[in-house]
Amino acid sequence: MDEMDLMKNLRDVPSPGPEAYDRARTALRTAMEEQPVAAVVRPKRWFSWPKVGVAAVGAAAVAAAVVVATSGGSVPAGPSDAVPRAAEVPPAVEAPLVKLASAVKAAGTQPGDASLIVNTKFGLDGKPDLDYTLYTDKGQQFTGDSAKTLVDAVAKGDAQPATPYDGKVMAAARLAANGDVDKARTAMITAGGNALGVGLSPAEAEKAWADAQAETAEMFRKIGKPVPAPRPRPTGKDLENLINNHLWSNTEHALFANAADAEVRAGVLKLYATIPDMIVGMTAVDGQAALTLTAPPAILGGSADVLIINADNGLPIREEITSAEPSKHWVVNYKSSRVTLADVAAGKI
């Protein structure tokens, strides 16, 4: 099942409440990315999430993906594992990202009232696909597949409503930028729900997992799909990898939606620094000094995801994604800037 299948099946389900939407959005995306054997991490924003009629996916959101993604059969149940702390990350990973985060925050956000990010995606056919996303300081989003369609959307006030999920990932990034990285880490991991039981007691974690699986089952029934067999809550390294998968994914969402906001960008860099086994390298792109951030394959089911950011300001430049099996490759180029709604509505992009 791919994105379009899920969208068609969910089309006639009533719209969810804010919290259900949060969890539904995360689950649907993660469920598509994490397959039973090999996780396929797909380029972000191939279509606009807020326009999808996703509803009763419910609190199972994160759990839906986790249930599908836990490969190799059942995982023994056990107590809630603690969230890995930033202090556990090797200094070689932490130092350059934290240093850059401090510089980004000190430089501050450029004038404007919105962040514009232009994505040029190259899929399996090698053809470019352009996507414009404007994220306002009030949390609204305007999208288009060209400068003209974005300008038209802004001029007409055709904004997609701010979602609780977006608000939570932005708040978590800002919290990290301003110092409480441990608390921000947990907030980012659980932005779409807490089926994994992060920070809960063993009993509470088991209940959260069971409740999420029940909601997942209900979601599958409503879209007419076979209900997956329930599985025990993952523990140990499996749980740690899933936790870091959600951290990577949710943090990327904050960056790709609002990269031109310096506070959000600084927080994102600090949160990336807390992912164990992250590899940070140096490169150059079109004459720009850049850093490569390579996510640990274990948190992506064996897939590879390399994010390339500007070494001076942390803005995203490119993402290169390769699925595990069968091997497929995507490239997404990014250009981010601060703008004003008035200028965009007037066609000044």
pLDDT at 81: 39
Q: Residue 334 above 70 pLDDT? A: yes
Q: Residue 21 above 60 pLDDT? A: no
Top pLDDT among 9 and 70 is at 9
- What residues does 134 pair with on adjacent strands? 116, 142
Is residue 258 helix, strand or coil?
helix
pTM attached to this predicted model: 0.75
pLDDT at 76: 26
pLDDT at 53: 25
287 class by beta-carbon count within 10 Å (0-12 exposed, 13-18 middle, 19+ buried):
exposed
Separation between Cα atoms, residue 196 and residue 166, nearest integer Å: 20
Phi/psi region, residue 130 (left: phi>0; alpha: psi -120 to 50; beta: rest), is beta
Q: Residue 266 above 60 pLDDT? A: yes
Cβ–Cβ < 8 Å for 110, 122? no
Top pLDDT among 336 and 30 is at 336
pLDDT at 94: 53
Mean pLDDT in the chain?
78
pLDDT at 80: 35
Domain spans of the chain?
3-82+190-241, 87-137+162-188+244-343
pLDDT at 30: 42
Q: Residue 32 above 60 pLDDT? A: no
Is residue 177 helix, strand or coil?
helix
Pick from 297, 270, 292, 267: which is nearest to 280 by CA?
A: 292
List, in order, residues 6 or more apart from 248 with CB less than 8 Å away.
272, 275, 295, 299, 300, 305
What's the average model confidence in pLDDT over 34-58?
Answer: 29
**Residue 12 backbone dihedrals phi, psi, to 5 degrees:** -95, 10
What's the average model confidence in pLDDT over 55-71?
Answer: 30
**Residue 135 backbone dihedrals phi, psi, to 5 degrees:** -110, 115
pLDDT tens digits, residue range 164-213? 999 999 999 999 999 899 999 999 999 999 999 999 999 999 999 999 99
List, in order, residues 6 or more apart from 348 with CB less than 8 Å away.
none
Q: Residue 127 above 90 pLDDT? A: no
Top pLDDT among 162 and 178 is at 178
Sign for the CA dihedral angle at 50, 51, 57, 61 comes to negative
Q: Residue 62 above 80 pLDDT? A: no
Q: Residue 95 above 50 pLDDT? A: yes
pLDDT at 268: 98
